[in-house]
Amino acid sequence: VKENGKDDYLLHSGEMDPVALHKLTLQHDLRKALLNDEFQLYYQPQYDLSSGQIVGMEALIRWKHPKRGLVPPCDFIPAAEESGIIVPLGEWVIKEACRQNKAWQDEGIPRIPVSVNLSIRQFSQRNLNEKVADILRSSGLEPRYLELEITESMTMDVERASQCLKELTELGVNISIDDFGTGYSSFHYLKNLPIARLKIDRSFVRDIQQDPNDAAIVAAIIAMAHNLSLQVIAEGVETEHQVHFLRSHRCDEMQGYYGSPPLCSEEIGKLLRDKLNR
């Protein structure tokens, strides 16, 4: 078998383990889903902590699977990243978020930015800034109403990342660091990258009430962000106690089930319109 490449291949495909097979099937299904328009964006509102107003929203992808129903991103984003499908998929996300936001603005709904999650694979593309510029141009959305979220766990060359982010910010787009505090290079990023805001990871916010260490960390991140002239938003806010804590420490914004879960476009459209008519 060793000498015959063909047989070798057949042997292996016959013996393919179930995990690998599942992965291949998933990657095939993802490609098909992109062609069949099976993805949908949900939007989670972000609230200003002093006024209580909705001041932004994060676009979160869902897969409307014909058989499995609504599939959460944790069940397909890793496979999409591994296979590279995340590149066209991520581009679709930016396009759809810009199109939707512009449509709401044209309706007269108060203008707020939409945040989109960027994967490291997208971020490593040489022409990312041109793609984003094209999308902004064709959607007609002003760049300041688009924010791109990157995570610090993205193991990348800070030199190159810095150049890439500079090009994006020159378009007028804002950059935020997602899941702040969970990576290993936080300070390196803060010092070297042109970012507008930090998103404090949910894992620190969750136990503010019970864990004095977490409370101290959150308070310190807020103070540091402000000293660096960065905006700061807390993720995963679920309780009134957390809101009080964040407000008393002058955190700018919050996002979480306490305010609202992620909503489909019809639901958030209605929420934003109701706000307008109040």
What kind and span of H or E run contains 126? Answer: none
DSSP string, 113-125: -EEEE--HHHHT-
Query: Which residue, judged by CB position, is nearest to Ca ion in the bound state?
Result: 178
Q: Is 152 in the site for ligand C2E (CB under 6 A)?
A: no
Strands (E), the chain: 39-48, 54-65, 69-71, 114-117, 146-151, 174-180, 197-200, 231-234, 253-254, 263-264
Q: Is 44 in the site for ligand C2E (CB under 6 A)?
A: yes
CB-nearer residue toward ligand C2E: 88 or 269: 88
Q: Is 109 left (phi over 0), alpha (psi -120 to 50) or beta?
A: beta
Q: Is 83 in the site for ligand C2E (CB under 6 A)?
A: no
Q: Is 234 in the site for ligand C2E (CB under 6 A)?
A: no
- In the DSSP assignment, the letter for residue 256 is S
Q: Is 93 in the site for ligand C2E (CB under 6 A)?
A: yes
Q: Which does 200 bind (CB under 5 to 8 A by kind): Ca ion, ligand C2E, none?
A: none
Segment lying near ligand C2E (by CB under 6 A), choices 23-31, 72-80, 104-112, 185-193: 72-80
Contact yes or no for 162/132 (Cβ under 8 A) = no
CA angle centred on 172, ends 169 and 178, rounded to 5°: 55
Q: Is 61 in the site for ligand C2E (CB under 6 A)?
A: yes
User: In the set 29, 147, 152, 178, which binds ligand C2E (CB under 6 A)?
Assistant: 178
User: In the set 9, 188, 248, 257, which binds ligand C2E (CB under 6 A)?
Assistant: 257
Size of the site for ligand C2E (CB under 6 A): 20
User: Which residues are CB-contacts of 137 (< 8 A; sequence separation ≥ 6)?
Assistant: none
Which residues contact ligand C2E by CB under 6 A? 44, 60-61, 72-74, 77, 90, 93, 117, 119, 178-179, 202, 236-238, 256-257, 262
